[in-house]
Amino acid sequence: MLESIRVTEKLHWPEHELAKKSVLNAEEQLIIDSKRSFSSLSSGVLKDTFTTGTSSYNVLLQTKEERKHHSQKQFSSTFSKRRRKPSKSPSSSNILKDPHRMTALVPVTSTGSSLALPPKPKSKVKCRSVTPLPKPKQQPQLCRSFEKGDDLSGKKLCILTAIKPINLEKEKLRFFKSDYTYNPQFEYANPALPGVLAKYSNASDRFLKQSIKIMELTLQKYGSYEKFEQATGGSLLTKTRIWSHVRKYMLKEGCLGEIVVHLTEDLLSRASMTVVNGCPTLTINISTAREHWLEGMLRHEIGTHYFRAVNNLQQPWNSWPGRKKHELKPNNPTEEGLASIHSVLFRKDPFLWRAALLYYTVYQASQMSFCELFKDIGKFVQDPNTRWDYCVRAKRGWTDTSQPGCFSKDQVYLDGILQILRFRDSIDFHLLTALGKVSYEDVDRLKELAVTENMRVPHFLHDHSRYMEHLEKIMEVNELTDAELKALM
């Protein structure tokens, strides 16, 4: 599947919540000898160690310096006490009881119900124990800081869980069998309250003209979205190459060893940054991981969401009472707008296609039935499966999709992008990241109150002039003008 060229704008719902899966954290990792078979480990250990349900795997990326330093220390202390070499793999009981043992795991592949190691590496791999990474100083606040939607803790997760249809595949089959004439009737395990849905049912047409123009410009140059994706995204990456790209990026940002990385095909979006079992966790959808777009995704998730979340911990507004006290505006649309800009920042043709299509689809959903929407967006996206995914995303939360109605959250991406581009010359982007989860509108007011020492700023913000040049290129490629944006805002 990964080797073929196809439409990969997958927006599938997870079969299981990621938080319910077994994700390794810094104090529960295992030492595994790559020369030994997994058959020596009990099924209980495997269940606790590896994610089930997909062929993906988890790994806490460690720095070479940490491994080297601790292995030397381990070598000295072990041999002075025991004066012998360990001859057996650690038993499952010892592994589970010792909270201070952890490793960088060897990737595994799933073959049916069994787990198998990849081909044995040419060089001999030694078992090494690595010093556990220190926990974040303010773990509960870190969890809250990854809420990219509302600032109230937990609301975003509850909403997205409540609007997830439980009969998605069944309704998709009926829709396709009807030759796209049946309006799906979605069911929900724990439906969202009417008041909550009402909050997200109002779509805006403020940037509708711009969203259409952006997509038309892309089609004029490439003929179709599918050709644009193939020409600019490059080939789909194997798991091994994804790991290589992620490691290189983390080294560049100085955050290697801080984030658990999880690969899956079962994700709503291309990637997400969350906190799972106390660890910052980056989940990547491997069915959308393209060669030339992967680093943009890492700039989006790590360079923007992760760094702003970590910086937020040090600020006086790192909690909801703190935000209320300092009268902070909502962090969106700035948060997602900034991250979306960073996704396309260094592309040869930084078309804002995805943000534009999401904005357009949401607005049209507020005016159309599911069938009408599916037909309407066919002028931009040819593939029926991709169109289905976008329609579901815009209609989620609704039961009877024969009626006009939308879930409007996805308009935040283009909204945020255009606001930031409108005021790009007056925004201090370095401070916007250093101050944490704040709106660009609050930066000047908060900078005198902020903690700015030892803040984390991504590498691509270090060269301000180069950064601004690429913002200008985004304006140019998408044919946006300052006069146009000024009239809108």
Instruction: Quote the DSSP letter at residue 474.
Output: H
Ordered alpha helix ranges (H), 127-222: 139-145, 155-162, 168-177, 194-199, 208-222
Q: How many residues does the chain have?
A: 489
Locate the DSSP E strands across 28-138: 58-60, 109-111, 114-116
Calpha distance 221→194 (Å, rounded):
43
Which one from 9, 171, 253, 301 is the annotated catalytic residue? 301
Kindly state the tokens that stand for 183.
């309006």
> Is 479 known to be catalytic?
no
Calpha distance 102→32 (Å, rounded):
9
Largest Cα–Cα separation, the chain: 77
Q: Which residues of 122-140 are buried (b: 16+ CB within 10 A; e: fewer)?
A: eeeeebbbbbbbeebeeee
Strands 260-264 and 279-285: parallel
Calpha distance 285→272 (Å, rounded):
9
List residues with catalytic annotation.
301
